Amino acid sequence: MLTTFFISLLTAASPVCDTLLQAATVTALKESVSVERLPSPVTVLREAELQSSNTYRHNRLSGQVPGLYIPEYGASLTSTIYMRGLGSRMENPVMGLYLDGIPVLDKNAYDFDWEGIRNATVLRGPQGTLYGRNAMGGVLALQSLSPADGMRRSFHLEYGSANTLRAGGIYTLGHHVLSAQYRHGDGFFLNEYKGSNCDPYDGLSLHWKWEQGLSERLFLGNTFWASLSREGGFAYGPWKDGVQHPVSYNDEGSYGRISVVDGVYARLRAERFTADAAASLQFLADDMHMDQDYTADNVFTLQQRQLSGAGTLEVRISRADTEAAWQPKTGFFALYKLNHLVAPVTFKRDGIERLILNNANKNIPADIGYLTIPDEQFPVHSDFLIGTWNAALFHESVLTVGNWQFTAGLRLDYEGARMDFDCLAQLHYRFVPTMKADKPFSVPYRGHQNHGRLELLPKFAALYQANASLTLYTTVAKGYRAGGFNTQIFSDILQNMTMNAMMKDLGVYLDRPNVSVSAEHTEYDPETAWNFELGARLRRTDFRAELSAYYIAVSKQQLTVFPPGLSTGRMMTNAGRSRSIGAEAELDWTPGDFRAHVSWAWCDSRFVRYDDGNHDYAGRFVPYVPRHTLYLSAGYSFHWGTRRIDLDLAARGAGSFYWNEENTLREPFRLRPDARVALVFPKWELYVRAENLTGTPGHSFYFKSVGNEFFADVKPRTILTGISIKL
Amino acid sequence: MLFAALAAMSLIACGKIESETPVVPQESDYQGTVTVIYEGAPFDNENIEVNFTPAEDGKTATITIYQIRFVPRMPVTVDVTIPNVELQSTTEKVLLSCERTIPLAMGGEFPRYTVTNLQGEIVNNELNFSLNFGDSPTSFKGEVKRAAAN
């Protein structure tokens, strides 16, 4: 980054060479063909559409992209993404995020405020051949504004419900584009115990982009993204006897994050080939505090601090003659990521009583005695160092024969990881009446785990250009989501180890000792999916439509499960097989000043084989996956002179879906309307917008903790007004 | 003839010396069955391990019974250590006895199961003893499992 920064400073004073800028447009996509010729469904939201639909974060894409559902809950590290029946709320995502062609490796950094985005493109279906890991559901590629897009100097300010303030700006200077956005909100959900909102937010996003053609053949760019946030979150209210109760917990719930992604990319146009290279350095530091029982009792808390650094490198060679019938693309990708994760769980007084002592003493006859732990807090320290490396070779060829276009590709992808863990549980205990004094006791648990997997990701596709406006396509492709380690279950492991070790130290042995997984069983495998797709794309002057249908066979589906009983952790498991059948449609009609858009998806995602030892879930719906997503929007622009009024109405919905594997808790489908009215002048714009205008209630998340059930509510009605000024 | 008579006398003399040496108690692990009389009926704990550790002077010993259950439906088993067991070695066996001692269990002294009237013996590879754990008449009969590590 420093090198490119100095190069950019040296060249900043030179006049912008438009021809060089125009000659070298590097897009966020890796495909050899244009978006219109892709043999898979694709959604492109351009700057104006992002603005009119108030899409400035990834979860605002929910529904707008058929089949994509990104519920808003927790905090900005959450980023749970569901796509076509794939997805889980922990660990690796099913949709890859690319910023100006640079892959973002850490899902904790996915959620940030966008500013200066030229377009957001979502490729649906497995994109493993070109994009590799974690692109089995699709890819979200954000393309930021480039100096080649012309002079842009603008500023916007927005204020509304819950003291939400959003201010941002874009500034173009020569070969540089700078953009920034700040957002503040007091939060929407009251924590009744504390008497204050639990989800305030302060966040800042920064972006700097430099692009320059250094010669007719060489183009260089740098894209720098940083985001900082300090926020509350975790607005989870207990669900008891079918009744939702307000959020009320006593311990800290907060999240802070610094995330930086800097990518350098270059394009070299030789006589016979074009070489694209992109390298990135990524850094993330975050700190989460969570009242993990989400009650007003002193049960247990979690702190999770992560410090990670990563580097990526990709080189792609393609044919210089982009008009040739055969377009081969061959590349190499490598990444290394090192993550230091510290995740201490602290059992507080109520937790010690309920989760440890009650459990232990219920097995000890009262006339023999009972166990006590005098400590107010029982900390379980967990320290993980996780290294992840990936290397891949890939090739994709596109051959055009008449009206036909054939694509074949293969990626050889190896991913390995090593986790070193160093955990320690410390407490004092005493058995009454035999022990006269408290005894200090500690249980260390150290070790390491390794895993490595080789994946072959093929792709075959055929596209037929029926006429100037109609394109038909079919694709068969495989994608995968990386495996990993269940760090969140270590508190459970240590808790059980401590109790069993303490009993052994006492010389007392339970007939049914508490069992938990051991470190060897904390690894989960990669999830793989074969996707079979048929689609049709229609493009007319003012009407665009895309219809697709798919069948996805998933192996080793990754699911977040809660271990039974009064467990405190959660873990990712590989749940046998599942399959998704679905259909998606996107319609765009823009006659004159009228505009209408429909995005709809239907997905039937069920387990084919999943027996957790206690239940056979075959035939049940995969939880958290909406059967439908729907986004309807209509707008009209009333012009007079150089001014106009934009009126946009939209409705967004997802559901129904089940919250559990048993399919006993169901969330119905609900539509929530959004609206926007803007008074637009040549240099400035005033607007009022609303989200969830009707205040339609509903849930965005469900989970269990120590046997209790919790829901997160969707955001209530939000009304904001703002001004945009072009300088 | 004289040589044969001397040899026979020396053999008799040697045998006499050998048989007069008392058995030296050794630390050993035994495995066997503990029988507890519960509500008038015997209740067996099978495959119970018992450690026998004599003091350095060989006059007392400590017996630890591992994972014993005093009541059939007790959901836990416990380790119990009986200290201050008196030893008396003869040329054939080691006799164990203890009128009264407080056992150690669950981190300390456990007076509820005070040991009384302990009687037993170690003969060759076998350990047998009987005692009262509080009100519960208890006995153990087992054989050496292996020599305890030093």
What are the CA-CA distances from residue A243 to residues A73, A238, A246 (Å)? 19, 8, 10
- For the ranges A239-253, A340-354, A503-517, A530-544, which has the lowest average pLDDT? A503-517
Q: Which residue of A has its CA nearest to B111?
A: A434
A369 vs B74, B75, B106: nearest CB: B106
Write the CB contacts of A28 (distance below 8 Å, at least 6 apart in sequence): A98, A99, A100, A101, A121, A141, A142, A143
In a domain, B50, yes or no: yes
Please indicate whether, in this complex, the C-beta atoms of B108 and A439 are within 8 angstroms of each other.
no
pLDDT of residue A27: 66
A-chain CB neighbours of B108 within 8 Å are: 431, 434-436
B-chain CB neighbours of A435 within 8 Å are: 106-108
> Helices (H), strands (E): how many in chain A?
7, 44
Q: Please work out, in degrees rounded to the nearest 5, the angle formed at the alpha carbon of residue A304 by the alpha carbons of A300 and A308.
A: 170
Q: Measure in Å the smallest separation between the Cα of A290 and chain B Cα atoms.
A: 36
pLDDT of residue B146: 63
Q: Which residue of A has its CA nearest to B112?
A: A368
Per-residue pLDDT band at A517 (split at 50, 70, 90):
low
Q: Measure in Å the smallest separation between the Cα of A504 and chain B Cα atoms.
A: 9
- Evaluate if residue A105 carries a pLDDT over 80: yes
Mean pLDDT of A202-215: 95
Q: Do residues A622 and A104 make contact, with C-beta atoms less than 8 angstroms apart?
A: no
Q: Which domain holds residue A652?
A: 2-726
> Helices (H), strands (E): how many in chain B?
1, 10
The helix/strand/coil state of B109 is strand
- Evaluate if residue B2 carries a pLDDT over 50: no
What are the CA-CA distances from residue A116 to residues A55, A113, A385, B78 (Å)? 12, 10, 36, 69
Q: Do residues B76 and B45 make contact, with C-beta atoms less than 8 angstroms apart?
A: no
Write the CB contacts of A11 (distance below 8 Å, at least 6 apart in sequence): A175, A212, A214
Distance CA(A292)–CA(A710), nearest Å, equals 11
Distance CA(A180)–CA(A155), nearest Å, equals 10
Q: Measure in Å the smallest separation between the Cα of A435 and chain B Cα atoms.
A: 5
Please indicate whether, in this complex, the C-beta atoms of B80 and A506 are within 8 angstroms of each other.
no
Percent of chain A with pLDDT over 70: 94
| ipTM of this complex prediction, to 2 decimal places | 0.80
Please indicate whether, in this complex, the C-beta atoms of A507 and B71 are within 8 angstroms of each other.
no
Please indicate whether, in this complex, the C-beta atoms of A363 and B76 are within 8 angstroms of each other.
yes
> Dihedral (C-alpha) A468, A470, A476, A477: value to the nearest 10 degrees?
70
Please indicate whether, in this complex, the C-beta atoms of A511 and B112 are within 8 angstroms of each other.
no
Most confident of A80-89, A407-416, B9-18: A407-416
Write the CB contacts of B13 (distance below 8 Å, at least 6 apart in sequence): none
Please indicate whether, in this complex, the C-beta atoms of B106 and A431 are within 8 angstroms of each other.
yes
* Number of domains present in the structure of chain B: 1
pLDDT tens, position by position, A530-561: 999 999 999 999 999 999 999 999 998 887 77
- Name the percent of chain B in helix, strand, coil, to the closest 5: 15, 60, 25
Q: What is the number of CB-based contacts under 8 A between chain A and chain B?
A: 55
Structure tokens given for A318: 């393609």
A-chain CB neighbours of B76 within 8 Å are: 363-365, 503, 508-511
The helix/strand/coil state of B106 is coil
pLDDT of residue A493: 84
Higher local confidence (pLDDT), A7 or A325: A325
Q: Which residue of A has its CA nearest to B78?
A: A508
Q: Measure in Å the smallest separation between the Cα of A425 and chain B Cα atoms.
A: 20
Q: Measure in Å the smallest separation between the Cα of A410 and chain B Cα atoms.
A: 59
Percent of chain B with pLDDT over 70: 84
Q: Measure in Å the smallest separation between the Cα of B32 and chain A Cα atoms.
A: 19
Distance CA(A528)–CA(A126), nearest Å, equals 10
Please indicate whether, in this complex, the C-beta atoms of A507 and B106 are within 8 angstroms of each other.
yes
Q: Measure in Å the smallest separation between the Cα of B45 and chain A Cα atoms.
A: 14
Q: Do residues A49 and A646 make contact, with C-beta atoms less than 8 angstroms apart?
A: no
In a domain, B16, yes or no: no
Q: Which residue of A has its CA nearest to B66?
A: A507
What are the CA-CA distances from residue B84 to residues A644, A649, B25 (Å)? 101, 89, 14
B67 vs A369, A505, A509: nearest CB: A509
B76 vs A430, A435, A511: nearest CB: A511
Q: Do residues A643 and A651 make contact, with C-beta atoms less than 8 angstroms apart?
A: no
Please indicate whether, in this complex, the C-beta atoms of A431 and B107 are within 8 angstroms of each other.
yes
A363 vs B75, B107, B108: nearest CB: B75
Q: Decide: residue A603, CB within 10 A, 0-12 exposed, 13-18 middle, 19+ buried.
A: buried
Residues of chain A that touch chain B, judged by Cβ-Cβ distance less than 8 Å: 363-365, 367-369, 430-431, 434-436, 439, 503, 505-512
Q: Measure in Å the smallest separation between the Cα of B66 and chain A Cα atoms.
A: 8
Please indicate whether, in this complex, the C-beta atoms of B106 and A435 are within 8 angstroms of each other.
yes
> What pairs with residue B147 in β-bridges?
B28
User: Domain with A380 in it: what CATH number?
Assistant: 2.40.170.20
Mean pLDDT of A219-233: 96
- Evaluate if residue A658 carries a pLDDT over 50: yes
pLDDT tens, position by position, A571-626: 777 878 999 999 999 999 999 999 999 999 999 999 998 877 778 889 999 999 99
Mutate to test the interface with B, among A499, A506, A510, A514 (most CBs of B within 10 A): A506
* Number of domains present in the structure of chain A: 1
Residues of chain B that touch chain A, judged by Cβ-Cβ distance less than 8 Å: 66-67, 71, 74-80, 104-110, 112
Residue type, A237: G
Mutate to test the interface with A, among B62, B76, B109, B114 (most CBs of A within 10 A): B76
User: Domain with B42 in it: what CATH number?
Assistant: 2.40.160
Radius of gyration in angstroms for the set of CA atoms belonging to chain A, rounded to a whole number: 27
pLDDT of residue A461: 97
B76 vs A364, A367, A434: nearest CB: A364
Please indicate whether, in this complex, the C-beta atoms of A364 and B112 are within 8 angstroms of each other.
no
A-chain CB neighbours of B104 within 8 Å are: 434
DSSP A554-601: EES-EEEE--SSS----EEEE-SEEEEEEEEEEEEE--TTEEEEEEEE
Please indicate whether, in this complex, the C-beta atoms of B108 and A434 are within 8 angstroms of each other.
yes
Q: Which domain holds residue B140?
A: 24-147
Q: Which residue of B has its CA nearest to A506?
A: B106
A508 vs B71, B104, B106: nearest CB: B106
pLDDT tens, position by position, B97-144: 999 999 999 889 988 889 999 999 999 899 999 999 888 899 999 999
Q: Measure in Å the smallest separation between the Cα of A373 and chain B Cα atoms.
A: 14
pLDDT tens, position by position, A116-175: 999 999 999 888 899 998 898 999 999 999 999 988 999 999 999 999 999 999 999 999
Q: Give a three-class secondary structure readout of A662-717.
A: CCCCEECCEEEEEEEEEEECCCEEEEEEEECCCCCCCEEEEEEECCEEEEEECCCC
Q: Do residues A690 and A720 make contact, with C-beta atoms less than 8 angstroms apart?
A: yes
pLDDT of residue A179: 97
B-chain CB neighbours of A367 within 8 Å are: 112
pTM (2 decimals)?
0.86
Distance CA(A234)–CA(A301), nearest Å, equals 13
B-chain CB neighbours of A439 within 8 Å are: 107
